[in-house]
Structure 1
Amino acid sequence: MTNQNTALELTEIVFPEHANHYGTLFGGNALMLMSKAAFLAARAFAACDVVMAGCSDAQFLAPVPVGSVLRLRAWISRVGRTSLTVCVTGTAEQLGQSPRTALKSLFEMVAVDKNGRPARIPGAYLHKEKEAA
């Protein structure tokens, strides 16, 4: 790979408008924030536009109360010809408490050209035998 951007960290704060009726981060908003981190990591790594093809194994491990600082860490775990797998974990921290892992998910991202069609990831490693096939 020519691009060494394989991980990033995104920091957010949970405001009341992000919460459910229990005063904790709403699951849909958690997925949105994790997908944002996955998108930014994939785009930085691929050095081109990307779109989400899928999300799997989303885990909500602990509630994230309003006022928590949420640190989302995203890293590339697999690179294909046109797609990448991005792992995302979210660690929540409240004032005076230790951080705890609260969220996890996997995202499949696809590199796309200006027409939105799958495009080869620049610098993606392929074996010569596979390339010839």
Structure 2
Amino acid sequence: MRKLRIMTTPTGTVELTEIVFPAEANHYGTLFGGNALQLMAKAAFLAARGAAQRDVVMAGVTDVRFLAPVPVGHVLTLRAWVSRIGRSSLTVCVTGLAATLGSPPEEVLKGIFEMVAVDGKGRPAAIANAYVNQETA
């Protein structure tokens, strides 16, 4: 897949735009669910890493929903934003909108990802207070 990543403000918000190619499709000619989940995880990772300003790992995924199929040739835009910041954990919401030329975007997937900031040894690490205070003030 060709990828275009655009970081937008505020920090912790990400938008990824992808086109669905046949290699990412299932036998029905639509985006394979495993590939959709991989893209969602990537968007969640980038949003959490931007907000935490350090490396993060995925701790869990809840309430993933595939609302409509995404046919080959459609453009999928994933939007991810941090909805909660804890001491070392973050909750990231991801939504996906699909469109083809001449049609309005339609919400096709969504999910919630729990991410944890980690240190160089992969252990949970505190998120900088400066960011937390700035965003919650």
Provide the TM-score with structure 2 as the length reference. Answer: 0.87
RMSD: 1.2
Q: CA offsets, 1:23-64, max 9 Å, x none?
A: 000000000000000000000110000000001100000100
Percent identity between matched residues is 67
Question: Of 8, 14, 17, which aligns to 1:8?
Answer: 14
Count of equivalent residues: 123
For structure 1, which runs of at least 5 residues remain unmatched after alignment? 126-133
Q: CA deviation at 1:4?
A: 4.0
Following TM superposition, the consecutive aligned residue runs of length 4 or more in structure 1 with deviations greater than 3 angstroms are: none
Counterpart-to-counterpart distance in 1, 2:36 and 2:14: 17
Q: Corresponding residue for 2:5?
A: none
The answer to which structure, 1 or 2, has the higher relative contact order (CA under 8 A, 6+ apart) is 1
Question: Of 65, 88, 92, which aligns to 2:94?
Answer: 88
The letter of the residue matching 2:68 is: A
Higher Cα radius of gyration: 1
Q: Corresponding residue for 2:69?
A: 63
Question: Of 46, 49, 67, which aligns to 2:52?
Answer: 46
Counterpart-to-counterpart distance in 1, 2:10 and 2:77: 21
Counterpart-to-counterpart distance in 1, 2:10 and 2:118: 20
For structure 2, which runs of at least 5 residues remain unmatched after alignment? 1-8
The letter of the residue matching 1:82 is: S
